[in-house]
Amino acid sequence: MNAEQSKSLLSSGHLSADPYINNCYSEMCMSTTQVAPQPGKHKIGWVIAAIFIIADMVGGGVVAMPVAFKLSGLPMGIIIMLTVAVSFEYTGYLLGKVWNKIMERNPHIGVCRKPFPEMAKRTMGTNMQRFTSVLGNVTQFGVSVVYLLLSSNIIHYFLSHVLHIESVSNCLVITVLAFLIWPFTLLASPGEFWVVIVFAMLTTVIAVVSIHTGIALDSSACFNAVAYPHTTSTSTVLSFGIFLFAFSGHYVFPTIQHDMKNPRDFTKSIFAGFLGVVILYLPLCVFAFVVYGDSMAESVIYSIQSPSLQLLANLMIAFHCIMTLVIVINPLNQEVEHYAKISHAFGIGRVITRTIVLFLVLFVALTVPDFQPVMNLVGASTIPMGCAVLPSLFYLYSEAATEEEWRKGKIPTLKEVLERTDKTVLIINLVIIFGAILGGVLGSYQGVLKLIKAKFTEPCYIRLFTETTYNSTFQVKNVCCGMNRDINVFNVTDFC
């Protein structure tokens, strides 16, 4: 940055005379006058931030969580769910505290394109920043691919089996869907696409209501013949991974907080967001377990015997994934723009970089249409790390650093962190860290098993030159209830 640019930023209030404060502008935050933000625009309140948090976490968890109860049993399922929810709410709260402390100590921090890695740098050093950046980018890129594939598979099933449009291939649906999502990915940050997220939240609510309605219609016939599963310590431990992933989403939390009118209100958003997720999850899981018991399929939607409600719930999950993709890919887009030195203002630079990122997501989706098993294995390690381990470490290191050490950029040693931290706080965070590591190991184990059994098909662009026809792996299943899975609520021939 030359002297004239520095003078301009100082006079406009974007930089401080303190050289350490200005150091933020050399990393994930402001760097030149060309990328200077327009303060005060497109900021969100704590209620909208809470909706972002809910939309970021729910989705696949709605259909997978009842299965976790089948593995763990009802009493233990409730205990594990509430324990994971409280623990992850706590780590989300810690992220908010760390970011608030960074802004307090650096009042002219301006706009950070990726606060999560910036927190890593401020609290644990540059090497941790690089590690966190790679970890977050791999997770967000992979989740974007999965969301694109899941939503396109459901829509393709709807087109071919409901509307009977057989000529449209799933590969074409993936491509068209990416093209339709593209304009929304060009929006700068969460403050600009909050309307999209409100609709994502609405689709989730509709999906949950549809599932509740379907279970209620099945309850009179299914509950009378229900058989509950015999759970073991092994099945309970295996369920832990599902509970863990159902409350993940922390990589995006700092980006949401940084786009708030008052980032200190993020505590309210975290509490309201996690409470909302528990309200969506818990009654549904209990209701499904009580009615279906051991007959519950790998997705609770498959256990619903009303075809119309089953289809509606699946479509709502698809639309939710489409809109949530806009949230998940945004921090990745912002980091790419940072390294490319692209202006915060809308322009050709943003269009080119974000188009390239989405094209890469599309390319992977077309190359590996069966990407889900790969992401199961990758996410098993990256998600627990980002949702529990790193937030706790950021907080412990930031609290252990003295004002003088913080001012000089000195990182406390592990020994100093252990000595300076209140023992109760230290124990709580260590329990969360080791619990997340356990969940990551279990998830990795399940991911390896699914990857071994997975069958991968040819890339879509290879099929253009072969006779191979790719049929979506997504299929609507009909699972009857009862001890022997033979109770057909609507007496449909060959339903089970």
Neighbours of 48 (CB within 10 A): 22
Spatial distance between the Cα atoms of 488 and 478, rounded to a whole number of angstroms: 10
Q: Span 369-387, mean pLDDT? A: 75
Whether 41 is in a domain gets the answer no
**Do 420 and 412 form a contact (C-beta atoms < 8 A)?**
yes
Tokens 């990122």 correspond to what residue?
357
Nearest CA to 205 among 79, 355, 320?
320
Rounded to 5°, the CA angle 173-174-177 comes to 80
Q: Is 30 left (phi over 0), alpha (psi -120 to 50) or beta?
A: beta
List, for residues 3-25, the tens digit of each pLDDT value: 444 444 434 433 333 333 333 33
- Quote the tokens at residue 69: 């109860």
Whether 228 is in a domain gets the answer yes
Spatial distance between the Cα atoms of 352 and 358, rounded to a whole number of angstroms: 10
- The secondary structure of residue 493, as a DSSP letter, is T
* Number of structural domains in the chain: 1
Of 25-39, 167-181, 404-418, where does mean pLDDT reach its minimum?
Answer: 25-39
For residue 7, the model assigns a pLDDT of 42
The residue type at 389: V
Whether 36 is in a domain gets the answer no
Total number of residues shown for the chain:
496
List, for residues 325-352, the tens digit of each pLDDT value: 888 888 888 888 888 888 777 889 899 9
Q: Kindly give, in sequence order, each residue whose CB lies less than 8 Å from that of residue 397, ignoring residues fewer than 6 positions away.
A: 123, 124, 411, 412, 417
Neighbours of 281 (CB within 10 A): 24
For residue 111, the model assigns a pLDDT of 64
The residue type at 329: I
Whether 152 is in a domain gets the answer yes
- Quote the tokens at residue 275: 């409470």
**Do 246 and 54 form a contact (C-beta atoms < 8 A)?**
no
List, for residues 129-154, the tens digit of each pLDDT value: 889 888 888 888 888 888 898 888 88
Q: Is the pLDDT of residue 35 over 60?
A: no
- Quote the tokens at residue 57: 């976490």
Whether 471 is in a domain gets the answer no
- Quote the tokens at residue 298: 């790998």
Give residue 331's Cα distance to chain centre: 12
Q: Kindly give, in sequence order, each residue whose CB lies less than 8 Å from that of residue 273, ignoring residues fewer than 6 positions away.
A: 49, 50, 51, 52, 53, 54, 57, 92
Spatial distance between the Cα atoms of 25 and 112, rounded to a whole number of angstroms: 8
For residue 17, the model assigns a pLDDT of 37
Identify the sign of the CA torsion 42, 48, 54, 55. negative
Whether 298 is in a domain gets the answer yes
Cα distance from N-terminal residue to C-terminal residue, the chain: 69
Query: What Å distances lie between residue 143 and 11, 29, 203, 372, 379, CA to CA?
Result: 42, 25, 19, 9, 8
For residue 469, the model assigns a pLDDT of 58
Determine the structural domain holding residue 198 and report its residue range.
48-455
For residue 492, the model assigns a pLDDT of 63
Q: Is the pLDDT of residue 33 over 50?
A: no
Q: Span 290-296, mean pLDDT? A: 89
Q: Kindly give, in sequence order, each residue whose CB lies less than 8 Å from that of residue 3, ignoring residues fewer than 6 positions away.
A: none
Query: What Å distances lie between residue 357 and 133, 137, 370, 471, CA to CA?
Result: 16, 11, 20, 26
List, for residues 226-283, the tens digit of each pLDDT value: 888 888 887 887 787 778 878 888 888 988 888 888 889 999 999 999 999 999 999 9
Spatial distance between the Cα atoms of 319 and 152, rounded to a whole number of angstroms: 10
Q: What percent of the chain has pLDDT over 70?
A: 84
**Do 429 and 418 form a contact (C-beta atoms < 8 A)?**
no
Look over the chain and give the mean of its residue pLDDT values, rounded to a whole number. Answer: 81
Whether 494 is in a domain gets the answer no
For residue 421, the model assigns a pLDDT of 92
The CATH number assigned to the domain holding 341 equals 1.20.1740
Whether 493 is in a domain gets the answer no
- The secondary structure of residue 471, as a DSSP letter, is P
25: helix, strand or coil: helix
List, for residues 411-431, the tens digit of each pLDDT value: 999 999 999 999 999 999 999
